[in-house]
Every structure is written in structure tokens, then in C-alpha cells.
Homo-oligomer: A and B are copies of this chain.
Amino acid sequence: MQNKQWLINGNPRGRALALTDFLEAQAALQTLRPNEARVQVEMLAFDPAMKGQLENVSGYASGNDVGNLMPGRGLGEVVESNDASLPVGSKVIGRLGWQEYATVTTQDVEVVPDDDLLSARLGPLGVTGLTAYFGLLRVGKPEPGDTLLVSGAAGAVGSVTGQLGKIMGCRTVGIAGGQAKCDWLVDEVGYDAAIDYKNDSVKARLKELAPQGINVFFDNVGGVALNDALGRIARHARVVICGGISRYEQETLPPGPTNYFNIVFRQATMEGFLLSGYEREHQQAIERLTDWIRGGQIKYKEDVQQGFENIPSTLLRLFSGKNFGKQLLRL
């Protein structure tokens, strides 16, 4: 039996990601060894950090070389197993890769209940939710009454971040591109206000919406939004640098924020966030996020594309702002 895969075919450092960075291939499925299980991949999850991982930045990601299987988190069903803890028919989540069948051991995947929150475990109950949770709570340190600004607010991380901010008692302002996303943020997600960076002056709107200054800025975007936000930070503000999607596709790195020096005048902090290091607390965070989702305090949206052949183009959607909700693909 054949296994279709997408292999890495280029390193996109210093340029936009392209469809030609991936190469379709086929490999015969091998006989399972002891303790291995075969997983039929049912759904893949996408996030902007995947481009950075492909760039093999030293100290951040490595081993993503041309010719290797494209890595990626997904969920699937065990269809063949040599390990009793991975029984046939069980649903698993983990780094399955861009392929139809993944060969895994218990170290690679986690068995999850086959319930209505299955795909949420690739989003608000997965890396996405944990990033929002630890990034906001541990680095942003929001307090009740704080004004929380989130860029990329309609993205998977940003929409959870805003809702966590409301749970913490913050006033929340989101920046997103286009009226539809902004309406969704205010009407469905529960942001107190939204700024449409495509049509509004971010600077003018921030002045209006954060008259006392921004206490916590959770940045997924970088660029102009970061600079404008730094221009309006409050004393002792916390700026969480979680992502910088405006930078990921540029050929030469754009300059940093001119207003960075405001962190001195405001005695503020700008801290980079990566999820690694919080492993021991994942379980507790996921239990809390589950309660909030079940209780309706956290809502989420999924953008589900279809088909093995569309995997690379689905990743590219993230960099053009096309996705609306957590980007997924069903095989």
C-alpha cells in the first residue's frame, strides 16, 4: 500500500513561502515494528510558526531540511497497532506530518476522546489555546481593569487571547483586517472594540479606545501595529511578542519599531513568547480551557479546507490573511 506525502522542497528564509517549497511524493507503507502503530491522518492544523520552522533558525527549529517529510500537527485514527496503549480505532493527536498515514509510537501522539471537542484539540485546546493562555497570563500578566490590545485578533491565537482577557476582567481591543472579522470580534467573540487596520487609522483609533494607555499588548503581527501600540503603552505595560506575521514573508527584515524607546519612558517590558517550558502545566491549562469552552466563555471558529492536494495552499492562506478562524484541513 502506498502512502502519499508532502516533502520539504525549499527553505523560505528571506522570502515568501511558495507552493514549490513542497513536493508531492509516494512511499510504500512499511511493516510495523514492535510498539509502533499506524495512524490514518484525518485532519491537519496550520499555524504561522510553520514558516519559521522551515527556515531552520538556529536555536529555534532545525532538521527541517529539503527532502524530509513536512512536519505538522494533526489528528487521526489508529488503523493498525503493535502497542496496547494505542488501540485500533482510537483517536490520536500529535505531530503526524503532511501525509496520509503516520507511523507513530506513544511518544509521538496522545490518545484523545472521540467527542464534540475533537477538532478543538488542534485549536483552542491545543497549541493555539496554550499559546494564548501562557502568553497572556504568564507574560502579559493582565489585571482586572487593564486595557488589553491584541493584534491578529481574529486569528486562532488572537481570538482566544481576547476571551481570556475578558475572563481576567480586562477591557479588550482587537486589531484585525476587514469589516467581517471586526464584526465577528465584537458580536461573537466579545471583544469590547475592534480596529480594522485595512480601513481605520490604527493610531487614531488607539487614542480613542485606550485613552489611559495600553496595559497589555499581545502582538501577533509586528510592523506598524506594534509601533503604533508602543506609542500608546501605559506605565509598566507588558508587551508580549508572540508572533510577527507581517515580517515572515519579507525579503529583507523590516526595521524594528521606532517607538521601542517608549518602554523606557513607561518602564515597560517587551518579552518574546514561545510555548516551550510550560509542559508541566499543559494539563491544568487544558482543563480550564475546556471548562471555559463548555461554559460558553470561549468561542472559536474553524476554517476547514479539504483534500490532500490542497495542504500546501492551505498553509499559504495564513500569510495572506485569508483564513478566518483556526486553519484546518480535512484529508
Q: Which residues of B contact A260 (CB under 8 A)?
A: 241, 256-257, 260, 270
A9 and B40 CA atoms in complex are apart in Å by: 76
- In the complex, the answer to whether A266 meets B235 with C-beta atoms within 8 Å is no
In A225-262, the 8 Å CB interface with B consists of: 227, 235, 241-244, 247, 253-262
Asked if A222 is an interface residue, CB under 8 A from chain B, the answer is yes
- In the complex, the answer to whether B267 meets A270 with C-beta atoms within 8 Å is no
Asked if A263 is an interface residue, CB under 8 A from chain B, the answer is yes
- In the complex, the answer to whether B258 meets A59 with C-beta atoms within 8 Å is no
Number of copies of this chain that the complex holds = 2
Q: Which residues of B contact A269 (CB under 8 A)?
A: 269-272
A276 and B264 CA atoms in complex are apart in Å by: 11
Q: Which residues of B contact A256 (CB under 8 A)?
A: 227, 255-261
In A273-305, the 8 Å CB interface with B consists of: 273-274, 276-277
- In the complex, the answer to whether A235 meets B267 with C-beta atoms within 8 Å is no
Q: Which residues of B contact A255 (CB under 8 A)?
A: 255-258
Distance to closest chain B CB from A288 (angstroms): 23
Asked if A45 is an interface residue, CB under 8 A from chain B, the answer is no
- In the complex, the answer to whether A265 meets B270 with C-beta atoms within 8 Å is no
In A196-233, the 8 Å CB interface with B consists of: 222, 227
Chain B: which residue is nearest A263 at the CB level? B272
Task: From known contacts A59-B235, A261-B247, infer whether A268 and B271 are also in contact, taking CB-CB under 8 Å.
Answer: yes
Chain B: which residue is nearest A270 at the CB level? B270
Chain B: which residue is nearest A60 at the CB level? B265
Q: Which residues of B contact A271 (CB under 8 A)?
A: 263, 268-271
Asked if A16 is an interface residue, CB under 8 A from chain B, the answer is no
Q: Which residues of B contact A227 (CB under 8 A)?
A: 256
Chain B: which residue is nearest A213 at the CB level? B59
- In the complex, the answer to whether B272 meets A264 with C-beta atoms within 8 Å is yes
A260 and B256 CA atoms in complex are apart in Å by: 6
Most buried by B among A57, A241, A264, A273: A264
Distance to closest chain B CB from A53 (angstroms): 11
A241 and B263 CA atoms in complex are apart in Å by: 8
A57 and B235 CA atoms in complex are apart in Å by: 13
Q: Which residues of B contact A57 (CB under 8 A)?
A: 265
A328 and B262 CA atoms in complex are apart in Å by: 28
Known: A256-B257, A260-B260. 9 other contacts (CB 8 A): A59-B235, A222-B261, A241-B264, A263-B270, A264-B273, A265-B274, A268-B271, A269-B271, A269-B272
CB pairs A–B below 8 angstroms (12 shown): A59-B265, A253-B258, A255-B255, A255-B257, A255-B258, A256-B258, A256-B261, A263-B270, A263-B272, A269-B270, A269-B272, A270-B270
